[in-house]
Amino acid sequence: MSATGLTVRYVVTSGDAHHLYLEDWLEEETFAATKFFMTGVKFPTTRNGKKLLAKPQHKVRIELVSLLLNPRWRTAPTGSVC
């Protein structure tokens, strides 16, 4: 980020309406090194999800996860913000 000099490495989203703006984030130079974690349940079946996952340059930066099936996402450490 230009104001702080920090880099956004990960964006975790529930996939709800957030995915409607995901293409803007994927194409923004500021977020060129950012990995996006999206729900593997709904997002890949939506029109927008299919469109984004069909683009190889975007697909490599989107990781589909299931919060229910992946043990590392079931509980957050005390005091963390999710």
pLDDT tens profile 1-43: 567 888 889 988 876 666 778 888 899 888 888 999 887 778 8
Length of the chain: 82
Determine contact, residues 13/37, Cβ cutoff 8 Å: yes
> Which tokens sit at 14?
């529930």
- Summarize pLDDT for 42-65 with one digit per residue, the tens: 888 889 889 999 999 999 999 988
Residue 8 to residue 66: CA distance in whole angstroms:
22
Closest CA to 35 of 55, 17, 60, 53: 60
pTM, rounded to two decimals: 0.70
Parse the chain into domains and list their residue ranges.
Answer: 10-66
